[in-house]
Structure 1
Amino acid sequence: MTDTLREPTFLILTALAARPQHGYGILRDVEEISSGRVRLRAGTLYTALDRMSSDGWVAIDREEVVDGRLRRYYRLTDLGAARLATEVERMRANTRAAEQRLRARPIGGTA
């Protein structure tokens, strides 16, 4: 059985599924994807990226210098994409089960 991804990890992987991004881009994308519910701090993001890199889910895509500062871009690996897909399917299955039970619920059920 695969462990459930924590929401920040899921959102970071989702952000990287579209294209390689640098840290600030990931932070903005996570906030957008979550409709503002999740706002990661930079330290939290880079700790998560280090962990996901160790797990083989993300990798450094490239580095460039912008305004004298190093900007590192991260990309989703095939292993990371597979892990994200597994989590999406788990969430779909849970959603289907909830929908079925809500449809079967008697109208005007007890409070």
Structure 2
Amino acid sequence: MTRQKPSLTEPQYFILAALMDGPLHGYGIIKAAEQATDGRLRIAVGTLYGALERMERAGLVVDDHEEIVDGRARRYYRLTGDGTAMLAQEALRMQQAAAVVIGRARDAGVSPA
């Protein structure tokens, strides 16, 4: 039996999704995730940097570059090939899981939304 990689947490998923269009700094990632979820997901700074650190160790993101803004270093992160693959795998997993519920709800004559 092939062992599947663990799925991403919701914050990890939206952090990776935020990086799909290119490198972003921490605040940019937080804002992109918040916008993608219509404000439902608000990633705390500590959660963000803890997740980025774990995902960097796992090879899903890398430190892209740093710039100084108002005297403070702003670090940018970017998605790796492995990060892109993991994000796509997780999106497919969620799509398949949702299809099961939507199909059953449709069969029962119930609207899932």
The TM-score, its normalising length taken from structure 1, stands at 0.90
1:71 matches 2:51: no
Partner residue of 1:28 out of 31, 35, 42:
31
Partner residue of 1:101 out of 93, 104, 107:
104
Corresponding residue pairs, total: 107
1:12 matches 2:15: yes
Identity %: 47
Bigger Rg, structure 1 or 2: 1
Q: Aligned Cα RMSD in Å?
A: 1.3
* Structure 2: unaligned runs, 5 residues or longer: none
Alpha-carbon offset, residue 84 of structure 1: 0.3
Residue identity matched to 1:49 = L
Counterpart for residue 83 of structure 1: 86
Distance between the aligned counterparts of 2:105 and 2:43, measured in 1? 33
Partner residue of 1:45 out of 48, 51, 67:
48
SS across alignment from 2:7: coil
* Structure 1: unaligned runs, 5 residues or longer: none
